[in-house]
Amino acid sequence: MMTTGVESEKQGNGSSGGKENRLLHLSPLLFLTSIFLVNFTARVVFAPLMPTIEKDISITHGQAGVLFFLITAGYLLAILGSGAVSSRLTHRKTIVLSATSLGVALLLVPMCQGLWLTAIALFLVGLAGGLYLPSGIATLTSLVPSRHWGKALAIHELAPNLGFVLAPLVSELFLQFFSWRGVSALLGIISVAIGLGFARFGRGGEFPGEVPSLGSFKTLLGRPGLWIMTILFGLGIAGSFGIFSMLPLYLVSELGMERSWANTLIALSRISGIGMAFLAGWATDRLGPQRTLVYVFFLTGLTTVVLGLLPYPSIVVAVFVQPMVAVCFFPAGFAALAFVGDARIRSVAVSVAVPFGFLIGGGAVPIGIGLMGDAGAFGLGFSAAGGLFLMGTLFSLYLKVSSPTQQP
């Protein structure tokens, strides 16, 4: 039987069983967070592996950018279609399908030779991975009392920040024993195992999803705020995910760093994102989402421009500072997105702005940087991306949102 958030809250109100209920909520929350961690790590691990992949299948920097674009395109299509899938399978079965099919796709990648077969397999990686998030969030909020949703979602959202740290470390560790193909296969086995584990031991999600109505989309498409937020999400994702995708390749092929040192450096630089995300949440509550976005885009743009100009070893400072400010976009971005529409169409706003933002930030921007790298201006590609982020400051000024403290 489906357990809603309200029902869970009632169950947790008894004083005698409060502690036991908190433990019952924590266990499935950590299970879902683990699935999300494997899901995210599997999609970003190809960034630290890309210097090795480039040599192995003989591709250019621009073609490497195309591979990241295809992962993101698959992810976009899956999120857009996730409601249709979960409405037929239930959220629980969709989570199992996502984890196991992601594992199969990761096992297919090592079998591919050449650019286009590898590209197809990576598109399937994105497609399988994109099914998880809507069903994961729906399942989480059905298990945890509504008064604890903020804390539960904060724990769940640790997965991307931990994934940014783990991906370079995992790839570098296992490259000591396997080729990059072996790293992909190992993550595939883990993903299949955790998906089957959730099917056997996981809880929640025994209810179908909903397909967004055409009317909701029509209502949203007429709102300028949605289009501004889609652009801002594209730039915000590019500042974090897009830069991460191409940075290992830049440090190794352009600046001559040892691959192991570059991956270790990038992993260490992402640790700060865990704490900075909470700090950004506090700033959003204090300053309001619009002002926070203005500051975040200005600092992200400035540090990214500098990232593309500095030589080694001076660039090490920028490698640490840039992700510290870039990750601050997401609390303010989601808060601003909440004001685009009322509660009835808020989830539809997320399902439009976030995936299309990923297509821009995780797909188009890496391709652009890669093409500039092929033209002998790799560093300039990063600085140009920084210029786009500075433009995000101007777009943020056009947002018409209120401070959370001004809301009824």
The per-residue pLDDT for 202 is: 83
Pick from 147-151, 153-157, 172-176: least confident? 147-151
CATH T-level fold of 214-408: Growth Hormone; Chain: A; (1.20.1250)
Where residue 342 falls among pLDDT bands split at 50, 70, 90? low
The per-residue pLDDT for 218 is: 63
* Domain residue spans of the chain: 12-211, 214-408
The per-residue pLDDT for 274 is: 77
Start-to-end CA distance of the chain, whole Å, equals: 35
Where residue 349 falls among pLDDT bands split at 50, 70, 90? low
Copy the structure tokens of residue 233.
Answer: 């999400």
Give the Cα separation of 30 and 202 in Å (integer). Answer: 10
Give the Cα separation of 152 and 155 in Å (integer). Answer: 5
Summarised one tens digit per residue, pLDDT across range 78-128 is: 888 888 888 888 889 999 999 999 999 999 999 998 889 999 999 999 999
Do the domains spanning 12-211 and 214-408 agree at the CATH topology level? yes
Copy the structure tokens of residue 254.
Answer: 């352009």
Where residue 34 falls among pLDDT bands split at 50, 70, 90? very high
The per-residue pLDDT for 353 is: 76
What is the rounded radius of gyration, in angstroms, for the C-alpha atoms of the chain?
A: 21
The per-residue pLDDT for 76 is: 86
Copy the structure tokens of residue 405.
Answer: 């403290």
Of residues 403 and 316, the one with the higher pLDDT is 316
The per-residue pLDDT for 404 is: 43
Average pLDDT for the chain: 82
Name the helix (H) or strand (E) containing 378: helix 378-397
Buried b (16+ CB within 10 A) or exposed e, 369-402: bbbbbeeebbbebbbbbbebbbebbebbeebebe
Contact 60, 116 (CB under 8 A): no
- In this structure, the number of other CB atoms found within 10 A of the CB of residue 218 comes to 9
The per-residue pLDDT for 389 is: 93
Please identify which residue in the block is written with the tokens 């191409």. Answer: 246
Angle ∠(161,163,169) on CA atoms, nearest 5: 120
Residue 13: pLDDT over 50? no
Residue 169: pLDDT over 60? yes
Where residue 8 falls among pLDDT bands split at 50, 70, 90? very low
CATH 1.20.1250.20 fits 12-211, yes or no: yes
Residue 180: pLDDT over 60? yes
Summarised one tens digit per residue, pLDDT across range 217-248 is: 666 565 666 778 888 888 998 998 889 888 99
Distances (CA, A) of 169 to 126, 173, 261, 269: 21, 6, 10, 12
The per-residue pLDDT for 120 is: 95
Query: Which amino acid makes up residue 98?
Result: S
Summarised one tens digit per residue, pLDDT across range 119-153 is: 999 999 999 998 898 888 788 878 877 666 656 77
Average pLDDT over residues 372-383: 91
3-state secondary structure of 327: coil
Q: How far is CA 372 from the centre of its chain?
A: 24
Contact 130, 75 (CB under 8 A): yes
Where residue 279 falls among pLDDT bands split at 50, 70, 90? confident
Average pLDDT over residues 379-405: 81
Residue 14: pLDDT over 50? no
* CA nearest to 43, candidates 135, 137, 130: 130
Question: pTM of the entire structure?
Answer: 0.78
Residue 12: pLDDT over 60? no
Summarised one tens digit per residue, pLDDT across range 295-316 is: 999 999 999 999 999 888 889 9
